[in-house]
């Protein structure tokens, strides 16, 4: 595995995570489909899933962000009583199902980048 010893600061890793690129080289894509990830970086051959259950933190991050958005959106609307209960249930259902799907890819790539800030690879 050829990895350069370039500095990888938190901000650089954050932007790599936002771009859904390899946290090690910044070139390789993490995803090969909508929800399917590569096992290794296509550019530097780095193994993305470091251990069994590696993405559990990403799932927790996705859940927390989803819950925060639901609270920020749904609670004020419900408190204002400007929307009927069926419409509120529809909004809640769409948010509960849609937000985890929309957050799946960013949460995985950002989690990987965050992990590399805490536990950088040995070059």
- pLDDT (tens digit per residue) in 63-85: 998 889 888 877 787 777 777 88
Report the percentage of the chain scoring pLDDT > 90: 48
Q: 24-28, 51-55, 101-105, 119-123: lowest mean pLDDT where?
A: 119-123
The answer to whether 61 and 55 have CB atoms below 8 angstroms apart is no
What's the whole-model pTM score? Answer: 0.78
Domain map of the chain by residue range? 10-118
Which pairs with CB-CB distance under 8 Å and at least 24 residues apart come from 112-116? Answer: 112/17, 112/23, 112/30, 112/48, 112/58, 113/13, 113/14, 113/16, 113/17, 113/23, 114/13, 114/17, 114/57, 115/23, 115/50, 115/54, 115/57, 116/8, 116/13, 116/23, 116/24
pLDDT at 5: 45
Check pLDDT > 50 for residue 1.
no
Average pLDDT, the chain: 86
Tens digits of per-residue pLDDT, 36-68?
999 999 999 999 988 888 889 999 989 998 889
Q: Are 15 and 8 in contact (CB under 8 A)?
A: no
Mean pLDDT calculated for residue range 16-32? 94
Indicate the pLDDT class of residue 4, thresholds 50, 70 and 90: very low
């Amino acid at each position: 595995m050829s990895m350069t010893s370039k500095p990888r600061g938190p901000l650089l890793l954050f932007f790599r995570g936002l771009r859904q690129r390899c946290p090690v080289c910044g070139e390789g894509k993490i995803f090969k489909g909508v929800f399917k990830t590569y096992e290794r970086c296509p550019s530097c051959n780095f193994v993305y899933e470091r251990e069994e259950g590696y993405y559990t933190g990403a799932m927790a991050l996705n859940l927390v962000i989803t819950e925060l958005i639901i609270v920020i959106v749904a609670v004020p609307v419900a408190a204002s009583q400007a929307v009927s209960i069926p419409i509120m249930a529809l909004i809640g259902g769409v948010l509960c199902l849609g937000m985890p799907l929309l957050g799946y890819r960013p949460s995985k790539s950002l989690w990987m980048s965050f992990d590399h800030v805490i536990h950088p690879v040995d070059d």
